[in-house]
Structure 1
């Protein structure tokens, strides 16, 4: 059984989403929160989304939203939640805040992004829902060549730390193998 708040980290194509889904297989009703959005004309992306959908049990529901605070605050839906993923959520937040542009970052976008990350971390900390979130671990790779890439990496790293701190369990998936970073009860 999954724990009330579990964060699963890993690199691209490491198996983190599959592991999250495996933890929730015992549940007939799961709310799968997809933060990826659509990418018109991107056939590769459409195929990836379709593969994710095909892998999930037909009884699971899907919500395509980046309003994660509302999902975490909902006390009327007893279903466990799987959020896939925080990195894509952050991408959407950076888009909304115009934070990819260097000048915008220093003219208020940084504050707006940090406020959204703080709000998500606070909602995660107090949720009464059983929830698993998937996120990319970006701190083990090369230093991004652009300022925007470094902002993304640094912001996601801080968000991952805040969510991990408020989680009962943190797992790291490497090459499909699961490592326990924060065991239950720590």
Structure 2
């Protein structure tokens, strides 16, 4: 099956006419334009190929007999079998994970991003995301994402694993009788794909040792808080060091592809309490040790990702 793509953008093109957002303005200044999506399948326009409407898109038959699933802009097309190619909107990357989970997309299925527009910051950002989605790194592989409060670090972790078919979300916070905290937890839960498995545990070293597939840990700071509580070590922080050693050992030995989120605590004011300073020092030490044992580490600032060499 031969696929030609004269255009890959959304209906308005990219940049869109009269749009002055940063994404469109950047492309316009560079003299770059992506034409609205169109495709030739074995030399035949996509619209001329036999096809059936499915929720969220179309199931298309190529003249040579191949099968293609085509998403509408923003759509999540329902599969009707196994596909040789899928044309999907990268603004909904978790749908690729769902198709893989269902077996509709196999390792040899061609995945084509279409409907590109200013929902993406730039073509470079698209390439960065596709590097995580199109050819997922198998385990063992460890990534540490650092960032401050509301930096976008959790969203970046979820984005990196969105196209994986099998994800375990390790939520490491101990239960709290706190309405505001519960609302935060629920917001994270609603944002995650519904087919991900969620495991709420503070036994993080043990969970990493037995993990398989792709794993998202959110987060290291809440695990450390729970570990200090369990050890009663707020007045004697050195007592928690063996537990940190256990976590580093499990991080080193895990067979999974793990993306872990942790707070970067060294850029704010010095805590006014001894326990606050102890927590900052312990988490800073733990972050350093995890980063030293990670294939990748990155800092997330205002939703932008800076790779750490």
TM-score (norm 2): 0.54
Aligned pair partner of 2:193 in 45, 48, 57? 57
Q: Which has the higher relative contact order, 1 or 2, with Cα contacts under 8 A spaced 6 or more apart? A: 1
Counterpart of 2:307 in structure 1 is 180
Counterpart of 2:158 in structure 1 is 21
Q: Which deviations, in whole Å up to 9, do the C-alpha atoms of 1:127-169 show, x marking residues without a partner?
A: 1111011000001111111111110000000000000000000
Aligned pair partner of 1:81 in 212, 215, 233? 215
- Separation in 1, partners of 2:217, 2:223: 9
Counterpart of 1:12 in structure 2 is 149
Counterpart of 2:208 in structure 1 is 72
Counterpart of 2:227 in structure 1 is 93
List structure 1 runs of 4+ shifted beyond 6 angstroms: none
Question: SS at 1:121's partner residue?
Answer: helix
Alignment check: 8 A CA contact 2:212 2:256 kept: yes
**1:147 maps onto 2:274 in alignment:** yes
- Separation in 1, partners of 2:217, 2:234: 24
Q: Which deviations, in whole Å up to 9, do the C-alpha atoms of 1:48-85 show, x marking residues without a partner?
A: 011000000011000000111112111xx532100000
Question: SS at 1:28's partner residue?
Answer: coil
Question: SS at 1:88's partner residue?
Answer: helix
**1:110 maps onto 2:244 in alignment:** no
Kindly state the Cα deviation for residue 28 of structure 1 after the two structures are TM-superposed. 2.3
Alignment check: 8 A CA contact 2:145 2:260 kept: yes
TM-score (norm 1): 0.89
- Separation in 2, partners of 1:45, 1:144: 21
- Separation in 1, partners of 2:287, 2:255: 19
Question: SS at 1:31's partner residue?
Answer: strand
- Separation in 2, partners of 1:37, 1:91: 9
Aligned pair partner of 1:46 in 172, 177, 182? 182
Counterpart of 2:9 in structure 1 is none
- Number of aligned residues: 172
RMSD (Å) for aligned C-alpha atoms: 1.2
Give structure 1 stretches of 5+ with no counterpart: none
- Separation in 2, partners of 1:132, 1:118: 19
- Of the structure 1 ranges 154-163 and 63-72, higher mean CA displacement relative to structure 2 is found in 63-72
Give structure 2 stretches of 5+ with no counterpart: 1-131
Alignment check: 8 A CA contact 2:221 2:262 kept: yes
